[in-house]
Homo-oligomer: A and B are copies of this chain.
Amino acid sequence: MEIEQILDQIYLLPETSKLILQNCVTEINYPKGHILLKADKIESNIYFIRKGIARAYSNRDDNEVTFWFGKEGDTVLSMKSYVAHQKGYEDIELLEACELYELKSEKLQKLFEEDIHIANWGRKFAEKELVITEERLISRQFRTATERYAELLNDYPHLIQRVQLGHIASYLGISQVSLSRIRADIK
């Protein structure tokens, strides 16, 4: 997916502002398994996925929890670094070789102060992510693991083929063994 299309789907910018933003972006590729962003660092870049998929996971005790998947067109960032210039809570791993657009967070923050359209673009980005996250939190409470799996299949039909089940189980908040049982029951 091209950068213009990615920016447009968040919020339609006037041509001049869009060009300013596009000119700050550089392309970069990384192999499968690359850790794009690290939990214990204040990260200074954000990315847009041109091609490929990624996941965000958080580590505590010995457990690792995957709580986000990103695909073509999605924005990748360390939320706490971006919002509060603090160390994040997530690592982000590329699950396939990825083509990415890179943008310096500092540069973007400066544009927020200078260009009202870009500020509103940033506002819309956060707002949309917020609705998605809030809906997931609610879904977690309403639905059984089986229903949540069906929902994921419906929302991201492609993902299942490309991501290993351990990560999907973690995303759904269940053990891999449970997911395996759910899949066996459905057939």
Contact B131 A123 (CB under 8 A): no
Q: How many residues of A contact B (CB 8 A)?
A: 37
A113 at the A/B interface (Cβ < 8 Å)?
yes
Q: Interface stretch among A47-55, A78-86, A95-103, A179-187?
A: A78-86
Contact B130 A84 (CB under 8 A): no
A63 at the A/B interface (Cβ < 8 Å)?
yes
Cα–Cα distance between A65 and B140 once the two chains are bound (Å): 10
Contact with B along A83-127 (1 / 0, CB 8 A): 110000100000000000000000000001101100110110011
Cα–Cα distance between A117 and B129 once the two chains are bound (Å): 21
Residues of chain B contacted by A129 (CB below 8 angstroms): 130
Contact B128 A83 (CB under 8 A): yes
Contact A130 B120 (CB under 8 A): no
A155 at the A/B interface (Cβ < 8 Å)?
no
Residues of chain B contacted by A58 (CB below 8 angstroms): 138, 142
Considering only residues 28-72 of chain A, those with a C-beta below 8 Å from chain B are: 58, 60-61, 63, 65, 67
User: Can you name 29 A-B pairs with beta carbons within 8 Å?
Assistant: A58-B138, A58-B142, A60-B142, A63-B142, A65-B138, A65-B141, A65-B142, A67-B138, A67-B141, A79-B130, A79-B134, A82-B127, A83-B127, A83-B131, A84-B131, A89-B135, A89-B138, A112-B120, A112-B123, A113-B120, A116-B116, A116-B119, A119-B119, A119-B120, A120-B123, A130-B133, A133-B133, A136-B137, A140-B140
